[in-house]
C-alpha cells in the first residue's frame, strides 16, 4: 500500500536555521512559476524539530497545534502551544493504534484521525480532552480509509477510501458511508470539506486506466451532487488541499516549483486564480492547515537541510487578492 503519504527527503537548497528562532525563507526555487502566479516572503517559525512530526491540525481557539510524532510503527498524537514550549502527549491513556492524520471539528470539539494497526487503516474519534478514543464503524467503508475531514455540522466526515480510490461521506449518526466521487472518472487522494459543507477539495487524477500515482495528483473540487472538476484551468501537480475559514481560498502542497521534487506550500482562490507560493522549496513543506482566523498556516517541514526528520512550523499569510 503506497498511497498514504510519507514525508519526503528530497534534496533542497541549504538553509541556516536556529532552533526556536524565526527564520526568513529564501526563494531559491528551481523552476519558474506559471504566468500570473506570485511568491510571498514571510518568516517561518518552527515549533518542533529533531523528530519526525507530521499532519498538524489546529485547535478551534487557535492556541494549540495537534500533530503526529512518528517513530517507525509507533505514531502518537502530541499537542504544542502556538506560543511555543514543549509538546505533550494528547491522549490521556495509550491509544491501541498508530494515530495519524488528525482533523479537529470546530462544531463538536472532537478529533477524527486515521488509526493504523495490523495493516488496517480506519477512522477513529477522540474527545478534545484526550479521552474516549474509539473506532468509527460504518457500513460501506473498507479497512483502508484515510484523511478524515469534518463537515461543519460535526455529524459527518469525508474520507479517502483507498481500496476504491474514491471520496466517501460518513454519517456518524446512521453509521453508514456513501461515495461522493466516481472511480471511473477520477482516482482520489486527501479530501477537505469546505466551511459551508457544499464542496470538497481533494487531490486526484483523471482515470485513464493507469496505475495510481499520488505524485501526479492535481487539486479537484466535487459538489454535493457528485460533479467533480479540476480546480486549475491548466492542471499542475498539487496535493493535501485545505480550505480557508472563509471558504474563499485553498492551501495545498506542490512540487511544481522544484526540479528536484521538493514540496512548497501554495495558496489559490477557489475559482483557480491568484496562485501564491508561500514557502520555499528548500523546506520541503507539506500538509498545510489554516488558523481559525485565516491569518497563518501550520505545516510539516524539514527544519535543517542536512537533518533528517520533520518539524511543525507556522507562517503568516499574505492577504487575499
CA distance 42 to 150: 30
* Predicted confidence (pLDDT) at residue 128 exceeds the cutoff of 90: yes
- List the one residue out of 65, 108, 112, 57 whose CA is nearest residue 84: 65
155-200 confidence digits (pLDDT tens)? 999 999 999 999 999 999 999 999 999 999 999 999 999 999 999 9
In a domain, 13, yes or no: no
In a domain, 12, yes or no: no
Q: Give me the chain's average pLDDT, please.
A: 89
* Predicted confidence (pLDDT) at residue 44 exceeds the cutoff of 70: yes
Q: What is the pLDDT of residue 25?
A: 39
296-301/311-316 β-pairing: antiparallel
Q: For the chain, what is the domain count?
A: 1
**DSSP per-residue codes, 197-260:** SSEEEEEEEE-SSPPP-GGG-EEEEEETT--EEESSSS----EEEEE-TTSSEEEEEE-TT-TT
In a domain, 123, yes or no: yes
251-288 confidence digits (pLDDT tens)? 999 999 999 999 999 999 999 999 999 999 999 999 99
Residue 298 domain boundaries: 22-279+288-316
- Give backbone dihedrals phi and psi of 112, rounded to 5 degrees, phi first: -105, 145
Range of weakest confidence among 35-44, 80-89, 260-269: 35-44
pLDDT above 70: percentage of residues in the chain: 87
Give the domain CATH number at 100. Answer: 2.120.10.30
Q: What is the pLDDT of residue 17?
A: 30
Q: What is the pLDDT of residue 5?
A: 42
Q: What is the pLDDT of residue 285?
A: 97
pLDDT classification of 320: cutoffs 50, 70, 90: low
Q: What is the pTM of this model?
A: 0.89
The Cα diameter of the chain in Å comes to 52
* Predicted confidence (pLDDT) at residue 151 exceeds the cutoff of 80: yes
CA distance 105 to 148: 10
Chain mean position to CA 130: 21
- List the one residue out of 228, 221, 130 whose CA is nearest residue 184: 228
pLDDT classification of 39: cutoffs 50, 70, 90: confident
What spatial distance separates the first Cα and last Cα of the chain, rounded to whole Å? Answer: 40
pLDDT classification of 22: cutoffs 50, 70, 90: very low
C-alpha cell at 133: 478514543
211-251 confidence digits (pLDDT tens)? 999 999 999 999 999 999 999 999 999 999 999 999 999 99
C-alpha cell at 181: 466521487
Number of H helices, E strands in the chain: 0, 26
In a domain, 293, yes or no: yes
Amino acid at each position: 500500500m503506497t498511497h498514504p503519504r510519507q514525508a519526503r527527503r528530497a534534496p533542497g537548497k541549504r538553509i541556516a536555521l536556529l532552533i526556536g528562532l524565526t527564520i526568513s525563507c529564501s526563494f531559491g526555487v528551481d523552476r519558474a512559476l506559471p504566468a500570473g502566479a506570485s511568491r510571498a516572503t514571510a518568516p517561518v517559525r518552527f515549533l518542533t524539530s529533531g523528530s519526525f512530526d507530521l499532519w498538524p491540525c489546529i485547535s478551534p481557539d487557535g492556541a494549540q497545534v495537534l500533530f503526529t510524532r512518528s517513530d517507525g510503527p509507533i505514531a502518537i498524537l502530541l499537542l504544542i502551544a502556538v506560543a511555543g514550549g514543549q509538546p505533550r502527549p494528547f491522549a490521556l491513556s495509550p491509544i491501541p493504534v498508530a494515530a495519524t492524520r488528525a482533523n479537529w471539528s470546530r462544531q463538536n470539539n472532537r478529533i477524527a484521525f486515521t488509526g493504523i494497526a495490523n495493516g488496517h487503516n480506519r477512522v477513529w474519534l477522540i474527545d478534545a480532552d484526550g479521552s474516549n478514543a474509539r473506532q468509527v464503524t460504518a457500513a460501506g467503508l473498507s479497512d483502508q480509509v484515510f484523511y478524515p475531514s469534518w463537515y461543519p455540522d460535526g455529524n459527518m466526515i469525508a474520507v479517502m477510501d483507498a481500496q476504491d480510490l474514491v471520496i466517501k461521506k460518513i454519517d456518524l449518526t446512521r453509521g453508514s458511508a456513501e461515495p461522493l466521487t466516481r472511480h471511473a472518472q477520477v482516482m482520489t487522494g486527501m479530501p477537505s470539506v469546505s466551511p459551508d459543507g457544499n464542496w470538497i477539495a481533494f487531490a486526484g487524477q483523471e482515470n485513464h486506466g493507469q496505475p495510481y500515482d499520488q505524485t501526479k495528483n492535481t487539486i479537484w473540487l466535487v459538489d454535493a451532487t457528485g460533479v467533480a472538476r479540476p480546480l486549475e484551468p491548466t492542471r499542475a501537480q498539487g496535493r493535501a488541499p485545505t480550505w480557508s475559514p472563509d471558504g474563499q481560498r485553498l492551501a495545498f502542497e506542490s512540487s511544481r516549483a522544484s526540479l528536484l521534487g521538493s514540496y512548497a506550500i501554495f495558496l489559490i482562490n477557489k475559482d483557480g486564480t491568484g496562485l501564491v507560493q508561500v514557502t520555499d522549496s528548500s523546506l520541503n513543506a507539506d500538509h498545510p492547515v489554516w488558523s481559525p482566523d485565516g491569518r497563518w498556516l501550520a505545516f510539516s517541514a524539514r527544519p535543517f537541510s542536512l537533518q533528517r526528520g520533520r518539524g511543525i512550523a507556522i507562517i503568516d499569510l499574505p492577504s487575499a487578492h
